[in-house]
Amino acid sequence: MKRVRLFDKTFRTFIPYEDIEKAIDAVADKVNADFDGCTDIPVLLCVLNGSILFTAELMKRLTFNCEIVSTKLSSYCGTESTGQVRQVMGLTADISGRRVIVIEDIVDSGNTILELKKILAEKGAAETYICTMLLKPDACRKDLHLDYVAMEIPNDFIVGFGLDYNEIGRNLKDIYILDEDKG
């Protein structure tokens, strides 16, 4: 088992890249089935910074025309959610009248998704779909409908494959879990 040190914390391998790829393949198949033959051009909304890698991998597998747009929201400080979602960067394109597929790295509390759905409704999105790489069902206390979930995981702090600890660790190919024994 591989371990990495990020600042004051040690993490151990939790989900190897090969398993991440299989999960992305499966979720891409579902998205492709739902959007097969669409004549509009749906928008993939990459929620920065965490979902960059997931968005890139998912996009490569999609078989319909789509446009990519970005936004950035934040609710974390260190290893804890602050419970407050703030928009750090607005949408990079007009989405009014468009179908939007939100691409998230992880859904835990559900606060970010609820805030994002509100923003997209205000900006005139025709329909909104939520696609997340990871879901922490034990942490989600909101009434949310998620259209596409690649993997469900326990309510533990993780890094890698786009997820960070104080902005580092996003570049790790595998997903790592906090190793409580190592601090």
Instruction: Report the pLDDT value the prediction gives residue 1, as an integer from 0 to 100.
Output: 85
Which uninterrupted H or E stretch holds 24?
Answer: helix 17-35
Instruction: Report the pLDDT value the prediction gives residue 140, as an integer from 0 to 100.
Output: 87
- Please identify every stretch of the chain with a pLDDT value under 70, giving residue numbers as ranges: 75-83, 182-183
Whether the full predicted model's pTM is greater than 0.85, yes or no, is: yes
Instruction: Report the pLDDT value the prediction gives residue 85, as an integer from 0 to 100.
Output: 76
Helix axes 17-35, 52-61, angle to 10 degrees: 60
Q: Which of 108, 138, 147, 164 is catalytic?
A: 108
Q: Count CB atoms within 10 A of the CB of residue 68.
A: 14
Q: Tell me if residue 108 is catalytic.
A: yes
Instruction: Report the pLDDT value the prediction gives residue 78, as an integer from 0 to 100.
Output: 58
Instruction: Report the pLDDT value the prediction gives residue 7, as an integer from 0 to 100.
Output: 96
The Cα angle at residue 101 between residues 90 and 143, in degrees rounded to 5 = 90
Which residues is 132 bridged to in the sheet? 104, 149
Instruction: Report the pLDDT value the prediction gives residue 17, as an integer from 0 to 100.
Output: 98
CATH of domain 18-153: 3.40.50.2020
Instruction: Report the pLDDT value the prediction gives residue 141, as an integer from 0 to 100.
Output: 82
